[in-house]
Amino acid sequence: MTVRTVPVSLAGRSYDILIGPGLIDRAGELSVALLPSRRVIVVTDETVAPLYGDRLVASFAKAGIAAATVTVPAGESSKEFAAFGRLMNALLDERPDRKVTLVALGGGVVGDLTGFAAATLLRGVDFIQVPTTLLAQVDSSVGGKTGINTRHGKNLVGAFYQPRLVLADTTVLDTLPRRELLAGYAEVAKYGLIDDPAFWDWCEANGAAVLAGDAARRTYAIEQSCRSKARIVAADERETTDLRALLNLGHTFGHALEAETGFGPDLLHGEAVGAGMAMAFDLSAKVGLCPPTDAARVRRHLASVGLPVRLRTIGGDNRRTWDATRLIEHMRGDKKAEAGKLTFILANGIGRAFVTREVDEAALRGLLDTAIAA
């Protein structure tokens, strides 16, 4: 199968996203011309390192590039401040100079962390993304948002810092747990709902095959997602207009659900986004913006692939008693809330999302009460 290329056009910071099978084994030859020196440090996590670490290092070696590796624990805890400090010291232990390139091999956690490390190591070195989760391949590795967490919330310390190259090897998704794959799929479907109704139709017809491992459809889904994200990022790199905010479809609701479940294993980010998108369309229908049939389609497709769109199915053995007031409080604490005003991405229909800060609180509360009771 051929490798697909999606360019991200950002003047002096432009780069390519390459998508296809076997790219980990070709990372050296594909990146060598971009590197300021033949020296890289791979940052990965303890789950991904034994799966793909050696192959990546071998591919650099084959191209005459020396690669050291720093491994961090798997999971969100590696984005804590203290963990970031440990990573920076481990990187400095390698005695890097400013021509070193960091390589993020892993999911969104490794990507966000490594990107921020690259932005700050010796005041900034280059980095390459080798995303290994579906979420990272279609979302977090593209667009240059990097950062870490604090006790005040997620991603509150960070930088816009673009990678030099993104290598999305589609075959690594074969080892990804199904639940993680599904969570990433919610972000794929999101691009259809934002502004691409034809892609949403495609997702309805092909989503199950994407999740079942159909290689051609998987590649297509990743490519279309990256094209959408690249287009939005190119037009609004730093979210200075409302355009990039459209990527937060489902995220105001989703963030509240994640906050209520402690950002823990009971609800993955992508799962929260899936439930949140269903709620955003339900709210849009409830206030008369969107045809109820479109909201029903959103809910039906996400549920049909196996995403937990009903609140009562969330949390496994730790099911919760949801409370509308608490959920609204979490929404106010979201960093997207401006001066206490809630920001929502609503829609006039599938593929017709827009940003609004004018949501009637009674309608919101009514929608949440209905979702909790359903």
Ligand X SMILES: NC(=O)c1ccc[n+]([C@@H]2O[C@H](COP(=O)([O-])OP(=O)(O)OC[C@H]3O[C@@H](n4cnc5c(N)ncnc54)[C@H](O)[C@@H]3O)[C@@H](O)[C@H]2O)c1
Catalytic positions? 123, 145, 187, 229, 239, 244, 248, 251, 255, 269
Binder among 269, 286, 301, 336 for ligand X (CB under 6 A) = 269
State the Cα–Cα distance between residues 335 and 333, nearest whole angstrom: 6
Binder among 154, 244, 251, 286 for ligand X (CB under 6 A) = 154
Binder among 35, 41, 48, 346 for ligand X (CB under 6 A) = 48
* Residue 315 within binding range of ligand X, rule CB under 6 A: no
Interaction partner, residue 172 (Zn ion, ligand X, none; CB < 5-8 Å by kind): ligand X
Shortest gap between Cβ of 173 and Zn ion (angstroms)? 18
Give the closest residue to 307 by CA, choosing from 348, 286, 277: 277
Chain CA centroid to CA 142, Å = 8
Task: Show the beta-strand stretches assigned E in the chain.
Answer: 4-8, 15-20, 39-45, 66-72, 101-106, 126-131, 145-150, 153-160, 165-169, 344-347, 353-356
- Name the phi and psi angles at 159, rounded to 5: -150, 150
Shortest gap between Cβ of 357 and ligand X (angstroms)? 22
State the Cα–Cα distance between residues 45 and 196, nearest whole angstrom: 34
CB nearest ligand X: which residue? 108
What is the contact mask toward ligand X in residues 94 to 113, using x (rule: CB under 6 A)? ------------xxxxx-x-
State the Cα–Cα distance between residues 305 and 184, nearest whole angstrom: 12
Interaction partner, residue 201 (Zn ion, ligand X, none; CB < 5-8 Å by kind): none
* Residue 324 within binding range of ligand X, rule CB under 6 A: no
State the Cα–Cα distance between residues 125 and 146, nearest whole angstrom: 14
Write the burial class of residue 139 (CB in 10 Å: 0-12 exposed, 13-18 middle, 19+ buried). buried
* Residue 45 within binding range of ligand X, rule CB under 6 A: yes
Q: Which is nearer to ligand X, 122 or 156 (CB)?
A: 156
* Residue 53 within binding range of ligand X, rule CB under 6 A: no
Q: Which is nearer to ligand X, 109 or 353 (CB)?
A: 109
State the Cα–Cα distance between residues 290 and 357, nearest whole angstrom: 17
What is the contact mask toward ligand X in residues 110 to 139, using x (rule: CB under 6 A)? x-x-------------------xx-xx--x
Give residues in contact with Zn ion (CB under 5 A): 273
Residue 89 corresponds to which tokens in the numbers above?
Answer: 């010291």
Task: Transcribe 296-360 into DSSP letters.
Answer: HHHHHHHHHHT---SGGGTTGGG-----HHHHHHHHHHSTT-BTTBPPEEEESSTT-EEEES---
Binder among 9, 77, 175, 293 for ligand X (CB under 6 A) = 175
Binder among 51, 88, 159, 215 for ligand X (CB under 6 A) = 51
* Residue 176 within binding range of ligand X, rule CB under 6 A: yes
Which parts of this chain interact with ligand X (CB under 6 A)? Answer: 45, 47-48, 51, 74-76, 79, 106-110, 112, 132-133, 135-136, 139-140, 143, 145, 154-155, 172, 175-176, 180, 269
